[in-house]
Structure 1
């Protein structure tokens, strides 16, 4: 017999960035494994250094990083960790980003703008990620930005199950905070048992970030519990405006 026979030893390694290690610890606990020990620190000029303290040769490596502020730091750290895993001969590398960085910049609103969500996908691919895992992308079609498999997970089943225990479906309305989220609100309504829908008419100056005005509610919310669903909260201006106009329209209660 020529060649060499080897056993198919599959190993899963979970690695955490420094943005939110508590989340990775909880994930590791659910999996019944330990996090891969990592040395990570910043140089005086803010450059990031990363080194894995155990061999990951031939392993299936999941690199989990949250992306709160400062988002650029945590994105670069995840890219560096992916590069380190590639150079350490990992068999497959999955970038786990519960919030996909720059997700809202998935199209051009005006000329001479970037499509930054596509750029991030290219950065993940160039760094060495074989797969991306994320939750509730701002737009589902962003999966097509990455040249490889994308696991687009939905939190809706878990959230709907929780909300169902807090409301009376016969006296509830699902409200989209703007016209762009009506499709998602419709899915919520169907999962809650076919409750009616409403949406908030909102205007925005696309030349000014984080500036939006909620004008009025389209639909009947009077005397009902309004469940407002949105995918991305930054300054909470949109949600707060939606709550205000829904209450002004006579909603009995609001769940965000």
Structure 2
């Protein structure tokens, strides 16, 4: 089997109201982590994966479910997926592009903060599994899932220019967490890169076998499944501006950003995917 399931060690410190920690062994390439647990999505208030002192993933249990539902992946009670590889890509290279390659000397750990519960609640149970493939010679890319927040103090157009950007970072998807967004425009160096209202964005997502989630506006440059060629680069010379039109005054809009960062761009091979 090229990708196989393995069972990881027991999580240390996992209990209601506490933070559980699990060191992730070096060696294989990780495609998914699987949480087998009696915790509900809302019970996992902060899930993070740290690679060599950098948090590369920070999200909640409910956001894990949102990502799966958006990709039309069937859910099973007590089964949560932390995705590295992108299973909805069209090609094997595209699927595995964002797999988490581990190297000798890496320090990787998973942390989950659990919500507190009443003293008579059933004890927390959790076991972490992983879908893995063989080791690779080096890590070329690092997958990232992090939250950013844009100010939105006006009804109408609100602008966001502080997205973390780099010649080495490209966007997979951005999930704007507000239910009254009607339009998104993106401008790079004063050239319009994207413009779609909610109807067009959601119709295009459905046409490409995605399910827009209630309460979100999804920017998905790889919606067609070409998860390497159609990444959205963040590199710019003067400005990268996201203009979000809202029907109300949100104050702020959280954004769950799925991205990828090149670690060794000179090793990246070309080719459509």
Q: TM class by shorter-chain length?
A: under 0.3
Give the TM-score taking structure 1 as reference length: 0.26
Higher-helix-fraction structure: 1
Q: TM-score, normalised by structure 2?
A: 0.25
Bigger radius of gyration among the two: 1
- Work out which structure has the larger RCO, using CA pairs closer than 8 Å and 6 or more positions apart in sequence: 2
More strand by share: 2
